[in-house]
Structure 1
Amino acid sequence: MSLATLTSAALLFASSFRLAGAVAAQVFEPPSKGPLVQTSNYTSFSNNTLHNPRIVKGKAFDRIIQVWLENTDFETAATTPVFEELAKQGLLFTNYNSVTHPSEPNYVAALGGDFFGMHDDNMYHIPSNISTVIDLLEEKRISWATYQENMPEDGYYGFSFTAPNYGNSSAAPYPYYMRKHNPLIIYDSVSQDAARVKNIRTFNDFANDVVNGTLPQWVFVTPNMVNDAHDTTIDFAASFLEYWLLPLLTDKRVNCDRTLILLTFDENESSVIENTVFTLALGGAVPKKLHGAKDNTLYTHYSSLSTVQANWALGSLGRQDTNATVSNVFSFVAEKTGYKNVHVPANQTPQFNLSAVVPGALTSAKFIPFAAPNLRAKGAGGGPVFLRPGLDRRITAASLPPPVNMLALNSTTPWQMSSRTMSGKQIIPCASSACP
């Protein structure tokens, strides 16, 4: 069955489902004439393009594009026709795991190597002395950006954004954009940096950057709340991929023989089963001999960090990205970089379906300060642990005080904000008593 035929089938199915409690079903509607055509459905048009003339060669790829979808069990995605067809064009990871529930902590973990105890989707910010993959990339002058569908403007700081419903003009405006799916805005080291925040960009910016030949080397893409399957179904997301991703797979400005495209999900839907998510390595950097193959190595969202580190011989964050058990490097990249993965027997797989609250700086129930990373850790890239200015190295995992239930004190972690902070770029100073 061709992908064109699958489009009609997916749209027919999409038209038949109803969201729980919704008055009318949502039907996939392309927001633009194509993924590289700017549209007023995204609120604002791009008024600038990036300038990325330098290409830093990697050992297995020169560009990585991560595309994150939402809340779907592995088998649900794996048996959806569009995903089945895509799997024939890439390498399917059959043991790739989300690291917790719900959504937001997974996004945070994939950028900073930890979710710091976060166990909800509230509005948080992480102090500027906590490092992320962006620090590691910039050390080697590797360009980067995130592109957020329906974010109204570059660097938008608000909790959400509601826009006219482009799929149904007679329906009420829709909250297409949610901050919880935009991890770089959560880290103060990016969102409160005047230069870096410009790289938190919109989908109209994506079109502009591709057309102008300035798409960065490290790219993180978040579709909106209907196109990523969060508020809809896997078939709806499949229709989005046919509209947006499939044309890009054949566009050399995006996908060349040195491009790795990682299509994944933030978490699964069923909390009673292992948190395995459908994850597919696509793009020209995936060896053709692996197209249609399956890889059962234990990977997690931390593996996206370690794989990038190994590819460009970067330093590390000294957190879960250096925990070899949960941060195996993608096999074909490990082969080219000489990194030796850890075999984890099935009966020893860590528990990724966390339901209990764990201590951390981003939980009010068991609050502890941010701890410094393990400075002696060795990551897949071989470089040193990156330390941001202002980090107190004396606060280590071993020296942390007992967790405090701040809720019992009628308070919350100092890193949680009110969701009523809807817009603007608030610079929130670090409270000295809570800083690491």
Structure 2
Amino acid sequence: MIGRDGQQRYHVILLAVLLFTSVFQASTLIAHASAPSGKYFDHVVTILMENNDLPSVLAQGQYQAGLAQQYTLAKGYSGVSHPSEPNYAAMISGQIGVNKDDGLCCGQDNHQNLVDSLESHGLTWKAFAEDLTTGDCAGGGIDTDHFPFIYFSDITNSPSRCNNLVGATASSDQELIDALNASGNWPNYVWLTPNLSNDAHDTSIGYADTYLAGIVPKIMGSTVFKTQRAALFIVYDEGNDVSCSSGGPDCVYASWTGPMAKKGFTSNTAYTHYSYLHTIEDNWGLPTLASDDAGAPVMSEFFNGYNGSGIVGILQYWPVLLIIVAVVAAAVLISVKIMPASKRRRQRGS
């Protein structure tokens, strides 16, 4: 039979084991939960639309106008060039480079790009394009001008990266919705290029508006957007050279929505596609890729301001906090049970 001193030693050993185990479990959980947390969001979806200026979209796109009114609108956001392709290149590489005109495809740009930055920082990505054959780095079935991931040689020459280029069924985009409704392992960065009808290139603002009215609620109702720190960015590549209120030369519709975006917020600050890229970089602490994105203002004013040091960031470690609370409670309980008894025995023996 264990004596009182033996029981005390047993409880001390038990407490030490508990502390060691909890530290091990906590470190494991932190490592598991330490996929980079962003300043403004942990998951972002970007949808690229085509060839319309901001006033026209607000006048003819009832759904888009309502979305901007409910969430945010960047009234000073401008495209950076004409035609389409240089704008797309700017958005994921911070430069126009060799993509000065449409029709350059594929793998002819050797510049660093956003995919390089994401992967080197442990972030995951998928780029969807309606009507694309999944994994086809030659852009089969789509207008290659509107899918910038196939511009870059370090993507087209990589089978694993090509597998992240996913075909989406027009107009349901079910493949994208399935990815957002998965049980876990959601991509941090998601891109969607609609086809030439749904992006308004070959149709009208009204047609594209109906498409967005169908797909955006599915995105907003997905598991990622219901349970994670997520944001959606809808933007047009270029407009009709209508000046922005900020003085930008080619004002286009640009709106951040989703749980991490502000509501009822409008800004007249001058932004461009380089600002979009710089916002992604700033969110995850990625290096800037070129001088244009480095010098572009970050769109931080559109977000609710939560980050990894705020309550949302803390809550991702709730299992660790629970373990710590349990161990502290056990330590208090053992000290309450052991210390008074030990003191009484010493007093009786004196």
1:205 corresponds to which of 157, 175, 188: 175
* 1:174 counterpart residue number: none
2:46 corresponds to which of 38, 58, 66: 66
* 1:235 counterpart residue number: 206
Q: Could you tell me the TM-score, scaled by structure 2's length?
A: 0.70
> Equivalents in 1 of 2:53, 2:228: separation in Å?
30
> Equivalents in 1 of 2:110, 2:238: separation in Å?
28
> Equivalents in 2 of 1:190, 1:53: separation in Å?
28
* 2:17 counterpart residue number: none
2:55 is equivalent to residue 75 of structure 1: yes
| Residue 134 of structure 1: how far off its partner (Å) | 1.0
Return structure 1 stretches of 4+ with deviation > 6 angstroms: 334-337
| Residue 128 of structure 1: how far off its partner (Å) | 6.8
* 2:146 counterpart residue number: 181
Count of equivalent residues: 264
- Give the letter aligned to residue 284 of structure 1: P
2:135 corresponds to which of 154, 175, 197: 154
2:229 is equivalent to residue 258 of structure 1: yes
> Equivalents in 2 of 1:307, 1:336: separation in Å?
15
> Equivalents in 1 of 2:72, 2:242: separation in Å?
27
- Give the letter aligned to residue 234 of structure 2: L
Residues 71-100 of structure 1: CA distance to partner in whole angstroms, max 9, x if unpaired?
011101112311121113211100011110
- Give the letter aligned to residue 205 of structure 2: I
> Equivalents in 2 of 1:184, 1:115: separation in Å?
13
2:210 is equivalent to residue 222 of structure 1: no
Gaps of 5+ in 1: 1-51, 162-176, 338-436
| Residue 117 of structure 1: how far off its partner (Å) | 5.2
State whether residues 225 and 259 of structure 2, in contact with CA within 8 Å, keep that contact through their aligned partners in structure 1: no
2:299 is equivalent to residue 329 of structure 1: yes
Q: Per the alignment, do residues 182 and 200 of structure 1 end up closer, same or farther by CA in structure 2, a change over 3 Å counting?
A: same
State whether residues 106 and 153 of structure 2, in contact with CA within 8 Å, keep that contact through their aligned partners in structure 1: yes
> Equivalents in 2 of 1:89, 1:293: separation in Å?
8
* 1:92 counterpart residue number: 73
2:94 is equivalent to residue 119 of structure 1: no
Q: Per the alignment, do residues 94 and 184 of structure 1 end up closer, same or farther by CA in structure 2, a change over 3 Å counting?
A: same
Give the secondary structure class of the aligned counterpart of 2:87. Answer: helix
Gaps of 5+ in 2: 1-31, 169-173, 244-248, 308-350
State whether residues 241 and 251 of structure 2, in contact with CA within 8 Å, keep that contact through their aligned partners in structure 1: no
* 1:276 counterpart residue number: 251
Percentage of matched positions with identical amino acids: 27
> Equivalents in 1 of 2:110, 2:51: separation in Å?
31
State whether residues 45 and 192 of structure 2, in contact with CA within 8 Å, keep that contact through their aligned partners in structure 1: yes
Q: Per the alignment, do residues 310 and 334 of structure 1 end up closer, same or farther by CA in structure 2, a change over 3 Å counting?
A: farther
CA-atom RMSD in angstroms: 2.4
> Equivalents in 2 of 1:220, 1:193: separation in Å?
18
Give the secondary structure class of the aligned counterpart of 1:67. Answer: strand
State whether residues 149 and 202 of structure 1, in contact with CA within 8 Å, keep that contact through their aligned partners in structure 2: yes
2:157 is equivalent to residue 192 of structure 1: yes
> Equivalents in 1 of 2:181, 2:42: separation in Å?
19
Q: Per the alignment, do residues 319 and 232 of structure 1 end up closer, same or farther by CA in structure 2, a change over 3 Å counting?
A: same
Q: Per the alignment, do residues 299 and 121 of structure 1 end up closer, same or farther by CA in structure 2, a change over 3 Å counting?
A: same
Q: State which structure, 1 or 2, has the greater radius of gyration over its C-alpha atoms.
A: 2
- Give the letter aligned to residue 274 of structure 2: Y
> Equivalents in 2 of 1:334, 1:132: separation in Å?
28
| Residue 57 of structure 1: how far off its partner (Å) | 1.1
| Residue 235 of structure 1: how far off its partner (Å) | 0.4
Residues 107-151 of structure 1: CA distance to partner in whole angstroms, max 9, x if unpaired?
111111111153321133455742101111112101111010111
> Equivalents in 2 of 1:107, 1:334: separation in Å?
27
> Equivalents in 1 of 2:56, 2:274: separation in Å?
23
Give the secondary structure class of the aligned counterpart of 2:224. Answer: coil
> Equivalents in 2 of 1:194, 1:137: separation in Å?
17
- Give the letter aligned to residue 134 of structure 1: V
| Residue 328 of structure 1: how far off its partner (Å) | 3.4
* 1:57 counterpart residue number: 37
* 2:272 counterpart residue number: 300
Q: Per the alignment, do residues 85 and 272 of structure 1 end up closer, same or farther by CA in structure 2, a change over 3 Å counting?
A: closer
Query: Which is bigger in relative contact order (C-alpha 8 A, separation at least 6)?
Result: 2
> Equivalents in 1 of 2:205, 2:283: separation in Å?
31
1:312 corresponds to which of 272, 278, 284: 284
> Equivalents in 2 of 1:118, 1:128: separation in Å?
8
| Residue 185 of structure 1: how far off its partner (Å) | 1.0
**Larger mean Cα displacement after TM superposition, 220-229 or 110-119:** 110-119
* 1:393 counterpart residue number: none
